């Protein structure tokens, strides 16, 4: 009986030490997580550097007629400098070609967009009155990234051309005041060739707004306040159409109604590695539990130092995963890192246990890594699959530990 109590105390103390070792392994894996964040920040720096030289994330607004405020006579006046007349209707249509720009080991999607813009203004009595008082008016196009403009932009109204020139936060084209007549539509058209990075967004006008985009990019991300009314996606690219009218938003919501397309990789290797790291404690608990069960079933002892070495091997898996994923696809990087880790642990425990049970242990570790990869790739249902798997593992542990208190 005394020997049995002594064995129980040893078993309990060994289990406590194993648990403490597993918790301590969180320190090195947090350090690896810091490396992931650092590499992601470096990737963002490269992306911003390319954006500064190529053109940033473009946001284009529907054209407006801009009229000076005649009451703006001094700096003491707190009212607006200009009044704006929104387009009655506007339509953007064009093609977006995307390519990958590489700098060092990082790739960033950049694009060229060729847009045809048509629309009409319908001046009201206030617009006519303001233009009559000041004698000045212009068409204003809000545009975030002027550096991305590739060609001259010429506004055409009723067969006459008016060149756009750089203005604050956009482009501006002066038009003669006599064009502004109450209730008389003012039809306009112009072409816009623009470069950008990662996303192309639009701000609709208060009237009717239509957008049609075609692109060779196969995996776009549609974002913002409005999703396409119609879209077609395939391996050769996509076609998408938006149709928005004054019933879809209020005046106060216009500039909050941005929408468009993201040309980015849906999930970067850094995000995927960070997701994988979240499963670290689950992996180390399963592996350590497996070792502990091997000890209990086989009667062979595994030193605490060997637990620590195993823990460091499991931590190093994520560093290998990060390193390989910067040069190849995440799936292939995961496979290589998992094979290296499983092979090293298999050889290590074959030397420690000198038993066929080490092969079963190696297979179990391989299954764990395979299961985690499946969870990483499941958009939905990962919680259910993980919960059922943990329940099954718990049942296995209960089965193998059911006789621990029985005398031999």
Q: How confident is the model at residue 343 (pLDDT cuts 50, 70, 90)?
A: very high
Mean pLDDT of 190-205: 90
**Percent of the chain with pLDDT strictly greater than 70:** 84
- pLDDT tens figures, 301-321: 778 888 888 888 888 899 899
Structure-block tokens of residue 404 = 């621990």
Per-residue pLDDT band for 373 (boundaries 50, 70, 90) equals: confident
Q: Which residues are 244's β-sheet partners?
A: 209
Q: Residue 211 pLDDT > 90, yes or no?
A: yes
Segment 216-258, tens digit of pLDDT: 888 888 888 888 989 998 888 899 999 988 777 655 566 668 8
> Can you give the pLDDT at residue 67?
87
> Both tokens of residue 187?
């039809």
Q: pLDDT value at position 382?
A: 62
Q: What is the pLDDT of residue 406?
A: 55
Mean pLDDT (whole number) for 175-199: 90
Rg (CA), the chain: 32
Q: What are phi and psi of 292, to 5 degrees?
A: -65, -40
Q: Which residues of 286-298 are buried (b: 16+ CB within 10 A; e: fewer)?
A: bbbbbbbbbbbee
Listed in sequence order, the DSSP H helices in 25-173 are: 26-54, 125-134
Instruction: Convert the pLDDT of each residue in 96-139 to its tens digit.
Output: 998 887 776 677 888 999 999 999 999 888 888 888 888 888 99
Do the beta carbons of residue 270 and residue 107 sit within 8 Å? no
* Vertex 396: Cα angle to 391 and 399 (nearest 5): 125
Q: What is the side-by-side strand order in the sheet with 221-224?
A: 58-61, 199-203, 259-262, 221-224
Task: For the full predicted model, state whether its pTM sits above 0.85.
Answer: no
Alpha helices in 243-329 (DSSP H): 269-277, 280-298, 304-325
pLDDT for the residue numbered 74: 57
Residue 178 exposure: Cα atoms within 13 Å on the Cβ side? 1
Q: Would the pLDDT of 92 be above 60?
A: yes
Query: Are residues 291 and 313 in contact, defined by beta-carbon separation less than 8 angstroms?
Result: no
């Amino acid at each position: 009986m005394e020997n049995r109590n002594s064995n129980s105390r040893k078993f309990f103390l060994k289990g406590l030490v194993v648990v403490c070792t597993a918790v301590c392994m969180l320190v090195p894996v947090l350090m690896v997580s810091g490396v992931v964040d650092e590499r992601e920040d470096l990737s963002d720096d490269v992306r911003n550097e390319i954006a500064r030289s190529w053109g940033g994330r473009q946001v284009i607004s529907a054209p407006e007629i801009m009229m000076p405020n005649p009451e703006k006579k001094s700096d003491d006046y707190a009212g607006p400098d200009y009044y704006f007349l929104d387009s009655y209707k506007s339509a953007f249509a064009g093609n977006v070609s995307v390519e990958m720009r590489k700098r060092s080991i990082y790739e960033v999607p950049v694009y060229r967009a060729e847009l045809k813009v048509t629309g009409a203004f319908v001046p009201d009595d206030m617009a006519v009155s303001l233009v009559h008082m000041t004698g000045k008016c212009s068409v204003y196009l809000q545009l975030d990234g002027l550096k991305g403009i590739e060609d001259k932009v010429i506004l055409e109204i009723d067969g006459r051309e008016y060149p756009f020139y750089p203005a604050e936060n956009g482009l501006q084209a002066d038009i003669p005041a006599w064009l502004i007549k109450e209730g008389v539509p003012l039809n306009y058209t112009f072409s816009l060739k623009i470069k950008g990075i990662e996303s192309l967004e639009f701000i609709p006008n208060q009237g009717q707004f239509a957008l049609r985009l075609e692109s060779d990019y196969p995996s776009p991300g549609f974002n913002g306040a409005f999703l396409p009314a119609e879209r077609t996606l395939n391996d050769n690219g996509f076609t998408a159409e938006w149709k928005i009218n004054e019933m879809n938003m209020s005046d106060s919501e216009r500039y909050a109604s941005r929408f468009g397309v993201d040309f980015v990789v849906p999930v970067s290797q850094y995000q995927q590695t960070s997701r994988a790291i979240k499963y670290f404690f689950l992996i180390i608990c399963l592996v350590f539990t497996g070792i502990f069960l091997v000890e209990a079933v086989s009667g062979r002892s595994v030193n605490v130092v060997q637990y620590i070495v195993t823990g460091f091997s499991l931590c190093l898996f994520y560093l290998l995963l990060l390193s390989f994923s910067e040069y190849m696809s995440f799936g292939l990087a995961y496979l290589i890192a998992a094979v290296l880790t499983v092979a090293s642990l298999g050889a290590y425990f074959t030397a420690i246990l000198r038993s066929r049970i080490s092969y079963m242990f190696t297979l179990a570790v391989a299954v764990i890594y395979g299961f985690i990869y499946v969870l990483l790739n499941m958009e939905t249902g990962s919680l259910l699959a993980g919960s059922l798997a943990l329940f099954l593992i718990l049942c296995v542990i209960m089965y193998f530990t059911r006789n621990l208190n029985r005398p031999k």
